Amino acid sequence: MNDYGHVQKQDPEVFAALEGEEQREAEGLELIPSENYVSKAVREANGSVFTNKYSEGYPGKRYYGGQTFTDQVETLAIDRAKKLFNCGYANVQTLGGANANIAMYFALLEPGDTVLGMDLSHGGHLTHGHPVTYLTKIFNFVRYKMKDPNTGEIDYDEMREVAKKEKPKIVLAGYSAYPRELNYEKFVEIAQEVGAYAVMDIAHIAGLIAGKAVKSPFDAGFDVMTSTTHKTLRGPRGGLILTRESEEIAKKIDKMVFPGLQGGPHMNNIAAKAVAFGEALSPSFALYAAQILKNAKAMEKIFLASSIRLLTGGTSNHLLLADVFGSLGIGGQEAETLLDRVGITLNKNSIADDTRKPMDPSGIRFGTPAITTRKFGEQECARVAELMVDAMKNKGDDTKLSAIREEIRTLCKKFPVPESFV
Ligand code: DSN
C-alpha cells in the first residue's frame, strides 16, 4: 500500500504525479545542494489537520478562537529553533526563505536604504538584490565580491571601502552558490564601523550550523539570521528568522511578518518545522552534519584529480561549483541534462564573472545533503563523483551512459531513502 490511498481513489491524475515523483526520488540521486529528504514524521505533521486552522497572530495573541493546539505547536517550534541556534528570538511563520528576507528588509529598513550584499555572480542570491526582483525598486543594493574566484576569499578591504562610501543599513552575508566559510568577525566589524545591522542568510548552511559542523554567525555577533527550513536543516519547505538578542529587532520582525506582509500562518507547516527542529536537536543530527562535509570533500578530491576546475579551489561546506565548460568544453545546461539522463539531478549554475548566459552557463552546482541523508559515506560519494566525470567525458557513448545509469540505480537500491532519522 502506498502513502496516497485516498488520492489514488479520488484523483488518479494527481496520484500519477505523486507516484512518478516517489519513483524519481527513489531511483535517482539528488545532488541539488538546496534539496533534501524529510522524515515520515515531518511529512505527517505537514499533511496534518493543522492545515484546517486559521491562526493570525502569535501564541497567546491570536485573532480567532480555537488556538489551544496551534499555540502549543508554534511555541514548540519557536523554543526548539531558539535552542538549535542559541538565540533569543525566532519567528517561524515565514513561508519560505525569500519571504524571510523580504520581511527582514522591511522590518529593518526604510525605502531607499542601502544593503551591502554579495555579488550575485559570485554566489549571492536573487533576494540579495538581483535586478529582476521588486526589492531593487525599493532598496538600494551594493556589492562585495571574491578577491580571487580560485581561492574564494572575500575582498574585505573593498567591502569596507564600499561600506564607508555607501553607508548601508544592512551588511548582508550569505549565499546560494559559495562553497567556503566566511570571516564572520570581519562582517560584524565592518557593520559596526558604519552603524549597520549584520545579517546572514543561512538558508544553505542552517543544518550545518545547527549540527555544529560549521561556525555560527551569532557567535561572532551577527544581529539577525534568515533561513529556509528545507535544505541542510532537513525540514519542510519554509522560512525562519532568528534574532540573537535584541527584543526591539525581534518585535519589528514579528510585526512585519504578521500583519505587515503575511496573513494566517500555515500551521501544518509550523508543526512540521517543530518536528524537524526536534530531529535536528538529536545527537544523530550532528553526525549527519559532519558527514555532509566529509562527503563533499570526497567529491572534491575526485574532481580535482580529474583536472576539473572547482570555483574557490574546492569546498568547505556542503556544495561544489565546477567550471565544466572551461574544463571539459561542456556547457552547464548540457551537463545538467546529461547527468539527469544517468539518474543524477543537479543544477547548471553561473560561475564568477561568467561570460555565458544564465540559462546555459559555464558551471554546475552540486552537493551532499540529500545523499548523506541516504547514508552515503565518503566511498560512495567518491564513486558518484567518478561516475559524473565519466558521464561528462563520454557524453556521446550510449553504452557507457547506460552502464552508469544502471550503477546509479543499484546504488539507490542499496541506500533507500530512510523513513526516520532519530
Ligand atoms: N533555490 C535555492 C537554491 O537552490 O539555492 C535558493 O533560493
pLDDT digits (tens, 9 = 90+) for 337-368: 999 999 999 999 999 999 999 999 999 999 99
pLDDT on residue 294: 98
Which triple of cell numbers denotes residue 183?
570571516
Which triple of cell numbers denotes residue 267?
500551521
What atom of ligand 1 comes closest to residue 347's alpha carbon? 4
Q: What is the mean pLDDT of residues 377-401?
A: 98
132 close to 126: Cβ distance less than 8 angstroms? yes
What atom of ligand 1 comes closest to residue 177's alpha carbon? 5
Torsion angle of C-alpha atoms 226, 229, 230, 235, degrees rounded to 10: 170
Residue nearest to ligand 1 atom 4, measured at CA:
34
322 close to 331: Cβ distance less than 8 angstroms? no
Q: Quick: pLDDT tens for 128-146.
A: 999 999 999 999 999 999 9
Residue nearest to ligand 1 atom 1, measured at CA:
34
What lies within 8 Å, CB to CB, of 210 at 6+ separation is 84, 85, 233, 280, 285, 289
Euclidean distance between CA atoms 383 and 257, whole angstroms: 45
Residue nearest to ligand 1 atom 3, measured at CA:
34
Q: Quick: pLDDT tens for 271-311.
A: 999 999 999 999 999 999 999 999 999 999 999 999 999 99
In 31-178, which ranges are E strands?
57-58, 61-62, 89-91, 114-118, 140-144, 170-174
Residue 293 among known ligand-binding residues: no
Q: Does the CB atom of residue 176 touch ligand 1 within 6 A? A: yes
Residue nearest to ligand 1 atom 2, measured at CA:
34
Residue 320 among known ligand-binding residues: no
Neighbour-count burial for 224-242, b at 16+ CB within 10 Å, e otherwise:
bbbbbbbbbbbbbbbbbbb
- What is the whole-number distance in angstroms between the Cα of residue 409 and the centre of ligand 1? 26
Which triple of cell numbers denotes residue 339?
547527468
Q: What is the mean pLDDT of residues 175-200?
A: 97
Euclidean distance between CA atoms 330 and 328, whole angstroms: 5
With 90 as the cut, is the pLDDT of residue 226 above it? yes
Share of the chain above pLDDT 90, in %: 97
Element (H, E) at 45: helix 40-46
Residue 125 among known ligand-binding residues: yes
Q: Which of 19, 35, 56, 71 is catalytic?
A: 56
How confident is residue 2, by pLDDT bands cut at 50, 70 and 90? confident
What atom of ligand 1 comes closest to residue 365's alpha carbon? 4
pLDDT on residue 3: 87
Listed in sequence order, the DSSP H helices in 167-264 are 184-194, 206-210, 247-255
201 in active site: yes
237 in active site: yes
Which triple of cell numbers denotes residue 162?
564600499
Q: Which of 231, 273, 395, 405 is catalytic?
A: 231
Q: Does the CB atom of residue 243 touch ligand 1 within 6 A? A: no
* Average pLDDT across the chain, whole number: 97
Residue 287 among known ligand-binding residues: no
pLDDT on residue 356: 96
pLDDT on residue 184: 98
Which triple of cell numbers denotes residue 315?
569546498
Residue 128 among known ligand-binding residues: no
Which residue matches cell numbers 531558539?
A: 82
Q: What is the mean pLDDT of residues 177-205?
A: 98
54 in active site: yes
pLDDT on residue 121: 85
Q: What is the mean pLDDT of residues 219-234?
A: 98
pLDDT on residue 146: 95
Which triple of cell numbers denotes residue 266?
500555515
What atom of ligand 1 comes closest to residue 204's alpha carbon? 5
Euclidean distance between CA atoms 342 and 407, whole angstroms: 9
What atom of ligand 1 comes closest to residue 176's alpha carbon? 5
Which triple of cell numbers denotes residue 412?
539507490
Q: Does the CB atom of residue 34 touch ligand 1 within 6 A? A: yes
324 close to 335: Cβ distance less than 8 angstroms? yes
64 in active site: no
Q: What is the mean pLDDT of residues 165-172?
A: 98
Domains and CATH numbers, the chain: 44-280 (3.40.640.10), 288-414 (3.90.1150.10)
pTM above 0.75, yes or no: yes
56 in active site: yes
pLDDT on residue 1: 55
39 close to 421: Cβ distance less than 8 angstroms? yes
For 109, 198, 413, the CA distances from 250, given in Å and listed in that order, are 14, 14, 46
